Structure 1
Amino acid sequence: MKISLNYIGVILLFLIGLVSCGTKENKQEISSDTSVQESYSNPLDVAFGDPFILNDGEGKYYMYGTGGGAKDGFAAYSSKNLTNWEFEGQVYQGNTEESWASKFFWAPEVYKIEGKYYMFFSAQWKVNPTIEEENFMIGVAESDSPTGPFTEMYDKPVFDPGYPIIDANVYWENGKYYLYYSRACYKHPVESEVADWAKEKGWYDEIEESWVYGVELKPDFSGVIGEPVLCLRPPLKMDDAQAEWESRSVTKQEINRRWTEGSVIFKHEDIYYMMYSSNYYAGENYAVGYATSKSPLGPFTKAANNPVLELNTHKGGQVTGTGHNNIVFMDNGDMYCVYHGRTKESGQERVVFLDKMEIKSDGTLVVHGPTTTPQDMPL
C-alpha cells in the first residue's frame, strides 16, 4: 500500500497536537497545586467581617465571620494553606422558632474541644420587654463537624449581665474556661477628659463607651461563675499614651462613641496577651492594640507600641478600617493575624487580611501589616 507524504504529515501533526495538549493540561494541574504556590497577596478572596480561623489540627483550616453570604446566621470557608479558600455554605441558622436570637448575627468563633466544635456568637435577643434598639447577647452552638450544622445548646444566651454584650472570645487552661466580651456602647455614657473636650467644642453632648470584660465560664457553657471583671476600657485622660489612637472616632468627628471590642487572648511564656480593637468599626480609623497581664483576668497593662495594626493610607498604602482580629497558631509555632479591613477597591465592604505576627525577645508584639504586596506562603 502506498501512503503519501502529505498523509504522513497530517498524522504527525495530529500526534504532536495530542502531546502538546497533554503537556498544557499537566502544566495547568501543576500550577493549580497549592503546594508549589510561593506567595500570596492581601486581601484574601473572602468578604467577611470579624474573621476567625480555626486550625483543625489535621492540615485544614476553617474560617468563620460576619456576613459572607449567610442569612440570619454564619457561613464557613475551608483551606489547606490559609490563602486559597473554598466556600462551605451556611453552617448555623438563627432566627427560627427554636432560636433565642432574632437578628444582627456577629463575630462567630469556633473551638474544637474533645472532638466536638463549639461556636460562640453575638446576636439580638428576642426577649426584649423594653424594646431596646441594642439587645445583643452571646450564645453557643455545637456540632460534630467544623462545617456544621451547628445547633444551639440552650434556648437562651449564655448569661445576661444586664447590658448588651458582643464579641465573645473563649480561653481555657487548667480545667477552667474564661469568656471575654465587650459591653456595647449603647446607653453607656462615660465621663472623661475626651468627653469634656468634645462637649466644649459643641460636637457631642456625651460620649458612649464599650469596655472589655472577662468572666469564668461553667464547663458546660450553660452560664458563668462569679462576677465579670473589667479588663480594658478607653483612657480617661487626654495625656494618656493610648488616648490619641483610641479616641479617633471622636476627634475625627465620626461618631460620639469610643470602642474597646473584638478582644482575643492568648498566653506566651507565662504572659497573657489581649489584643483588642478601638474606634468605629465602619470607619477608616478602626485599629488594633494589645495589653498584657500575669493573670487571665488581669489587671492588664496596655502596650507602649500601640496601635500594632492601623490604616496605612497616610504612608501611601490603600488599606483602612483594620480591626477585629484573631490569631492563627501554626503547627510550626508561627503566628498569623487574621483581620478585616477595607481597600480603595472594596469600598465599604470588609475583606479579609492575613499577616504574620510575632512576639519579639523583649515581649513586644508586632503585626507585619497591613500588606497588599506578595508575602511568603504560611508554612
Structure 2
Amino acid sequence: MKRDNTRYKVFGIFLLSIFGFMVSAQQSGSQKVPLGDPFILYSEGQYYAYGTHGSDGIEVYTSDDLQTWEGPVGAYNGYALHKNDVWADQWFWAPEVYRVNDKFYMYYSANEHICVATSDSPLGPFVQNKKQAMIQDEKCIDNSLFIDDDGTPYLTFVRFNDGNNIWIAELENDLMTLKMETLRPCIHVSQAWEEEWARVNEGSFIVKQNGVYYMSYSANHFKSPLYGVGFAKAKNIMGPWEKFEGNPILQKPAGLVGVGHSAMFKDKDGKLRIVFHAHQSNSEIHPRCMHIGTVGFEMEDGKEIMTIDDDFITPVLK
C-alpha cells in the first residue's frame, strides 16, 4: 500500500517555519545597537542614543532601560538629522545632543567640519537655518559641548595640526558661534600607549568633579584593536591639562577590541555612565556597536582619578 506523505510534508514545513521564526526572533533580539561614536541623552524618562552609522545623516534609537532599544526612530525616516536639512552631504559622525532651555542642540561632524543643528524634539528633525560649518575654512571633527557652573559654554573639538589633537574655545550665548579669540590647545599625543597606530587624540568629553575638570578622550586609530580611552585633568578648563599616568583606563575590556570614542551621561538614578563603541568582532570592524559602562572616582596615591568599571552592558535591539 502506497503511503500518503502530504500531511507529513505540510507538518514538516510548519515545524520548519516555526523554527525559522524562533531563530529569526532570537537573532533580532540579540542584535547589538550599530552605532559608532555613540552618545546617550536622558530626557523626561527616555534615553536617546545617537551615533555614526547612517550614510545620509544621524539616526536615533530609544530605550526605557538602557538594555533594550528600538530604532532607528528619527522624525525623518529614522534619521534625527538628514542631509537635506543641513550643510554637507556625507560623513555624518560623532553626534552629541543637549537640551538647553527646551531646545535641543546637536553637535556633529559632517564632511570633516564641525557643525551644530537644532530641533524642538530629541527625535528631530534637526535643521540648520543657516547651512554652514562652525569653522568654514578649516577641517575639524568631534565637537563636544560643556556648560560650566557659571553658565559659560565651551566647545572642545579635534584639529588636524599635529595629527588629531584636542582644542577648546568659548561659545557665544547662542551656543552656535565660536569665540575664536579664546581658542586654546588641550592635549595631543604624548603617552606611549597612544602611539600604536597614527597620532590620534580625539572624542573628548568633559565632566566636572569636586571643582576639577576631567576630560575623557580616545587614542590610536579607530581601526586599531588598541583604540582606547584615557583621561586628563585640569583646574582651569582652558588648561593646562594633565594626562593620567595610568592611562588607558579602558582598552580591550572582557574581549572587546577597538574600544573608544566615549561620552558620559547620568542615568535615571543619577549614576554617571559612559557609552562607547567597540569593533563588531575581533576580525570585523563594522558595524561598530554600542556598549555602556559606569564611571567612578577614587583616590590613588593621594590624587583623585577617574575609573571605568569593567562590568559593562551590551545593549540590544528589540
Asked if the contact 1:112/1:118 (under 8 Å) is kept, the reply is yes
1:33-77 deviation digits (Å, cap 9, x = unpaired): xxxxxxxxxx98201000000011x2111000000xx33201101
Runs of 4+ aligned structure 1 residues displaced above 6 Å come to: none
Equivalent residue letter for 1:91: A
- Deviation of the 1:227 alpha carbon: 3.5
Q: After superposition, where does 1:78-117 map in structure 2 within 5 Å?
A: 78-87=62-71, 88=73, 89-94=78-83, 96=84, 99-117=86-104
Cα pair distance change 1:166/1:260, threshold 3 Å: same
2:31 & 2:311 partners in 1: Cα distance? 12
Asked if the contact 1:212/1:233 (under 8 Å) is kept, the reply is yes
Q: Give the corresponding residue for 1:213.
A: 167
Asked if the contact 2:55/2:91 (under 8 Å) is kept, the reply is no
Asked if the contact 2:218/2:261 (under 8 Å) is kept, the reply is yes
Gaps of 5+ in 1: 1-42, 125-135, 191-208, 236-241, 250-256, 375-379
Cα pair distance change 1:155/1:372, threshold 3 Å: closer
Q: Give the corresponding residue for 1:139.
A: 115
1:257-298 deviation digits (Å, cap 9, x = unpaired): 210100000101100000000001112111110000011111
Partner SS for 1:321: coil
2:292 & 2:131 partners in 1: Cα distance? 35
Q: Give the corresponding residue for 1:286.
A: 227
Partner SS for 2:143: strand
Please, which of 146, 154, 159 is the counterpart of residue 135 of structure 2? 159
1:178 & 1:79 partners in 2: Cα distance? 29
Cα pair distance change 1:308/1:262, threshold 3 Å: same
Cα pair distance change 1:267/1:146, threshold 3 Å: same
Cα pair distance change 1:217/1:177, threshold 3 Å: same
- Deviation of the 1:108 alpha carbon: 0.6
- Deviation of the 1:373 alpha carbon: 9.0
1:153 & 1:287 partners in 2: Cα distance? 36
Q: Find out whether 1:76 has 2:45 as its counterpart.
A: no
Partner SS for 2:259: strand
Q: Give the corresponding residue for 1:324.
A: 261
Partner SS for 1:231: strand
- Deviation of the 1:154 alpha carbon: 2.2
2:59 & 2:50 partners in 1: Cα distance? 6
Equivalent residue letter for 2:142: D
Equivalent residue letter for 2:34: A
Asked if the contact 1:334/1:358 (under 8 Å) is kept, the reply is no
- Deviation of the 1:152 alpha carbon: 1.2
Q: Give the corresponding residue for 1:351.
A: 289
2:225 & 2:272 partners in 1: Cα distance? 25
Cα pair distance change 1:93/1:372, threshold 3 Å: closer
The percentage of aligned residue pairs carrying the same residue is 33
RMSD: 2.1
Equivalent residue letter for 1:248: E
1:373 & 1:341 partners in 2: Cα distance? 10
Q: Find out whether 1:248 has 2:196 as its counterpart.
A: yes
Q: After superposition, where does 1:13-52 map in structure 2 within 5 Å?
A: 45-52=32-39
- Deviation of the 1:165 alpha carbon: 0.4
Q: Give the corresponding residue for 2:145.
A: 170
Partner SS for 1:363: strand
Asked if the contact 2:40/2:275 (under 8 Å) is kept, the reply is yes
Equivalent residue letter for 1:100: W
TM superposition score normalised by structure 1: 0.69
- Deviation of the 1:159 alpha carbon: 2.3
Please, which of 204, 209, 227 is the counterpart of residue 182 of structure 2? 227
- Deviation of the 1:331 alpha carbon: 4.3
Cα pair distance change 1:52/1:222, threshold 3 Å: closer
- Deviation of the 1:79 alpha carbon: 0.8
Asked if the contact 1:285/1:311 (under 8 Å) is kept, the reply is yes
Larger Rg: 1
- Deviation of the 1:337 alpha carbon: 1.2
- Deviation of the 1:328 alpha carbon: 1.8
Gaps of 5+ in 2: 1-29
Asked if the contact 1:326/1:339 (under 8 Å) is kept, the reply is yes
Asked if the contact 2:294/2:312 (under 8 Å) is kept, the reply is no
1:44 & 1:294 partners in 2: Cα distance? 42
Partner SS for 1:263: strand
